[in-house]
Amino acid sequence: MPASPGLLNIAQEFVTRPAHEHPQKIAIVGTERKATYSEAEAQMDRVGQALRDYGCLPRDRVLIVLPDSLEFIAAFFGAAKIGALPVPVNSMARASDYRHYLSDSGARFAIVHSNSFDELKPALHGTAIDWTIVVGATTRAENLGQKSIVSWDDWLQKVRGDVPAHPTGADDPAFLLYTSGSGGAPRAAVHRHGSMLATSTAYAQGVLGLRPDDITFSVSKLFFAYGLGAGMYFPLAVGASTLLFPERPRADLIADAVRKHRPTVFFSVPTFYAALLREAETGAAMDFSSLRLAVSAGEALPGEVFVRFRDRFGVEILDGLGSTEMLHMYMSAKPGKTLPGSCGAPVPGYRVKIVDEEEREVPDGDIGNLWVSGPSRFIEYWKAPETTRSRLRGDWYLTGDKLMRDADGFYHYCGRADDMMKVSGMWVSPIEVENALLGHPAIAECAVVGQFDSVGLTRPVAYIVLRRGVQQPGGAMDSEISAWLRTRLVGYKCPEEFRFVPELPKTATGKIQRFRLRAQADQNSTSKV
């Protein structure tokens, strides 16, 4: 619980409290090493004290460029404990990305893994960074190239003891999270200390029923909102364990980790569930019998993937809808109440409404714009007041998503507002067309975007990744897929062009970057119906 009435600090709530309640309980199960709650608290306190000793002040931003690890958790909560604002970002990004994160956040401190340091270092010049701490560096501080760059071990060498928590309240800024960049340059959402408590109470415990004997495993990394909850503060909130996997996720490696460590709650994204199914089709040994829950988010889970995963592994996937701005899930299927192709219903404590362009609520069955309100809503976009004003309306966040609620109260994701297409005067959801395409036995992945034809009308174009071993025999595959699809969708929804590609452009969270495909849609097609 908070240290005193009116105060709340996420470091105390999610690390100090559970460490005092069960110090020897295993907090981290990893491919590298385990750590108890007591060890996690001790490392967090050392990081907090070291930051303070090096001049870090409340509200200073601390950029965190680390793989999933004890060091990530210690850096995040160590910064938050002294009132600084941790800013976790993709540890597999490029120098141009780091330039954006550094210049936009104005961070004074960067804690970076040695594997990412070469990409980060060129971006440091001309920024507000005072100190860069390198985790995994094998050399002494004086050999790292600059006096303002220090190795993690040197930095923590003389630090001991507890560090007092800064007296933060539930509504005070706690951390910055960058959006995934699925629609352009990432923006940083500023979240409160109370946001993590809200999502862990309403969703992790209220919907998923997480418990102390669980082992969670998130394919999505900790530096994104989905993974931050699934792989870090959700299990910490209930005294459970988290399985951390610092490497790039690959279906065979993830399957091996599941078989070895036996997690009970698995979090992933639709594209990775599809990848696991493709891996299973090769005859690879896969054992998911330890799972009591599987969760999907990031994009709509195709009904085809839901059914195939359930039939193959005996686990129903709980599809959910969340966002960086709302920190985690505000809508979700519930155990025992799933519907293929649906993202369920609002999480308790959250309100949603679907409205038209005049901001009037639409009837069931109609597609509209989703607004959401709840206790984990972000404060603002960092240094972007105009964008903030455009996305907030009182207590409501305007998500930019298009949804439909059916007569039974199930919600269905139809795509981003800028992904929707008006064809022959009628709205077409790319998600609906993609779900239909995924039912074809030759198709592994697909994305549908709109393209202007020669007279300026919008027509759907499908980008398709074929399953392993399937050949593309000239135009025969186009005709086969087109004829097959027209038995399942009305004509105006069917793509008039198919483009076969080896892979789809995606963010690090697995979201398809449709804006990149739209930019390609006016190029010469590789095949036409």
- Percentage with pLDDT > 70 across the chain: 92
Q: What is the mean pLDDT of residues 202-215?
A: 98
Provide the β-strand partners of residue 421. 428
pLDDT, residue 423, reads 80
526 confidence band (pLDDT: 50, 70, 90):
very low
User: CA 482 → CA 22, 284, 462, 490, distances in Å?
Assistant: 59, 32, 11, 12
Strands 149-151 and 351-355: unpaired
Q: Which phi and psi (to 5°) does residue 114 adopt? A: -60, -30
- Residue 160 binned pLDDT confidence (cut-offs 50, 70, 90): confident
Calculated CA dihedral for residues 479, 484, 487, 489, nearest 10 degrees: -80
Query: In this structure, what are the phi and psi dihedrals at residue 401, rounded to the nearest 5 degrees?
Result: -100, 150
In a domain, 93, yes or no: yes
Query: Residues 148-170, buried b or exposed e (16+ Cβ, 10 A)?
Result: ebbbbebbbeebeeebebbebeb
- Whether residue 217 lies inside any domain: the answer is no
Confidence class of residue 209 from pLDDT cuts 50, 70 and 90?
very high
User: How many structural domains are present in the chain?
Assistant: 2
Q: Indicate the residue type of 419.
A: D
Q: Which of 144, 160, 178 is the last residue of a domain?
A: 178
- Please report whether residue 278 resides in a domain: no
Strand order, beta sheet including 458-466: 443-452, 458-466, 497-500
Query: φ, ψ for residue 347 (rounded to 5)?
Result: -65, 140
What digits encode the pLDDT tens for the residues 241-256?
999 999 989 999 999 9
Query: pLDDT by residue (tens digit) across 307-349?
Result: 999 999 999 999 999 999 999 999 999 999 999 999 999 999 9
Whether the pLDDT of residue 139 is over 90: the answer is: no
Note whether residue 336 is domain-resident: no
pLDDT for position 225 = 95
User: CATH number for the domain including 103?
Assistant: 3.40.50.980
Q: What is the mean pLDDT of the chain?
A: 90
Distance from C-alpha of 428 to C-alpha of 432, rounded to nearest angstrom: 8
pTM (2 d.p.): 0.84
Contact 381, 189 (CB under 8 A): yes
Tell whether 173 is covered by a domain: yes
pLDDT at position 363 is 96
What are the pLDDT digits (tens) for 379-403?
Answer: 999 999 999 999 999 999 999 999 9
What distance in Å separates the CA atoms of residue 322 and residue 406, rounded to the nearest whole number?
19
Residue 147 has a pLDDT of: 61
The verdict on residue 364 lying in a domain is no
Residues 430 and 130: their CA atoms lie apart, in Å, by 46
Pick 129 or 515 by higher pLDDT: 129
Whole-angstrom distance, CA of residue 109 vs CA of residue 462? 44
| Ramachandran category for residue 6: left, alpha or beta (phi over 0 → left; psi -120 to 50 → alpha) | left
| Owning domain of residue 149 | 37-178
Question: What digits encode the pLDDT tens for the residues 73-120?
Answer: 999 999 999 999 999 999 988 898 999 999 999 999 999 999 999 999
CB 267 within 8 A of CB 220: yes
The position carrying tokens 């804690």 is 111
Nearest Cα residue to 212 out of 183, 181, 173, 239: 239
Question: Band of the pLDDT at 471, cuts 50, 70, 90?
Answer: confident
Which residue, 72, 151, 141, 73, is CA-closest to 114? 151
Domain assignment present for 3: no
For residue 355, is it within any domain?
no
Identify the band that residue 473 occupies on the pLDDT scale cut at 50, 70 and 90.
low
Residue 159: band (very low, low, confident or very high) from pLDDT cuts 50, 70, 90: confident
Q: How many whole angstroms separate alpha carbon 190 and alpha carbon 211?
A: 29
Q: Is the pLDDT of residue 455 over 70?
A: no
pLDDT at 137 over 80: no
* pLDDT confidence of residue 496: 83
Tokens encoding 503: 């892979």
Residue 469's CATH number: 3.30.300.30
Is the pLDDT at 1 greater than 50, yes or no? no
Closest Cα to residue 161, out of 26, 72, 47? 47
- Under the banding of pLDDT at 50, 70 and 90, the label for residue 138 is low
Considering 152, 178, 204, which residue would you say is the last residue of a domain?
Answer: 178
The strand pair at 293-296 and 317-322 is best described as parallel
> Is it the case that residue 472 has pLDDT exceeding 60?
yes
Using the structure block, give the residue that is written with the tokens 């459970």.
Answer: 240
Among 156, 178, 200, residue at a domain's last position: 178
User: Cα–chain-centroid distance for residue 446?
Assistant: 20
- Which position has the higher pLDDT, 525 or 132? 132
Instruction: Please indicate whether residue 377 or residue 456 has the higher confidence score (pLDDT).
Output: 377
> Sorting pLDDT into bands at 50, 70 and 90, what band is 468?
confident
Model pLDDT for residues 419-438, shown as the tens digit of each residue: 778 786 677 888 889 988 99
At position 160, the amino acid (one-letter code) is R
